[in-house]
Amino acid sequence: MGYEIQTLNNVDTDSNEKIITLWIEHIRREDSEFLFGFVQKEERDFFRDLLKVRGIGPQIGMSLLNKYSINEVKTSLIKQNKDLISSVPGIGKKMTERIFLELKNKISVIEEGSNKNVNQNDKEEVTFIFRDIDIALRSLDYPIKDIKNTLNIIKSEFSKSKSTELNEHKINFENILKEAISILENNDSKFG
């Protein structure tokens, strides 16, 4: 079975051998369903925020993120550069005003937050990563008890670490999933 996933232009699909991990947004309509894939979780989350703005549909959201990087869009929101947003086909002046009104405060909190907010964001990010890993391992038919034990081992190792591993991209979905599968495959008797 295959799925059609609409992606941004920044996805490298040239190599058939390359494994690509995408963060998916599944949108259901009365008569159809759509999958949108993003290389970065931040892109997917921002896409979700865009869709909450009245008048912004998935195609306009994808057009904006295809024309400008997420950092360019966020910078334009912070610096009140409305020309950048309104230059995207399908986004007029009124819609640009709505985007600025509804999204600027969210972006400001992220960009100008204190270290406490950054640390809280890191903790939330790690929580989401472990939740997604749990779902992925269950879909691979590992026993639930073994999954819980494995994730507890990894969480314990993570809590002992004093370094900023999340910022160094060591604590991410792919790395933790590989570690979890390695533990599950190599330590079958450990959980018995």
The greatest distance separating any two alpha carbons of the chain, rounded to the nearest whole angstrom, comes to 63
- pLDDT (tens digit, 0 to 9) for every residue of the chain, 192 residues total? 788 888 888 776 665 656 778 899 999 988 889 999 998 888 999 999 999 988 899 999 999 999 998 888 888 888 888 899 999 998 988 898 888 888 876 664 444 443 444 455 566 667 778 888 888 888 888 889 999 999 988 888 777 664 444 444 456 777 788 888 889 888 754 555
- Same domain membership, residue 147 and residue 91: no
The neighbour count for residue 99, using CB atoms within 10 Å, is 26
In whole angstroms, how far apart are CA 91 and each of 30, 53, 68, 85, 94? 25, 12, 14, 7, 8
Domain range for 187:
115-191
- Same domain membership, residue 139 and residue 182: yes
Number of domain units in the chain? 2
In the three-class reduction of DSSP (H, G, I as helix; E, B as strand; rest coil), residue 113 is classed as coil
- 35 CB-side CA count, 13 A: 8
Tokens representing 178?
Answer: 């590989």
Q: What is the pTM of this model?
A: 0.54
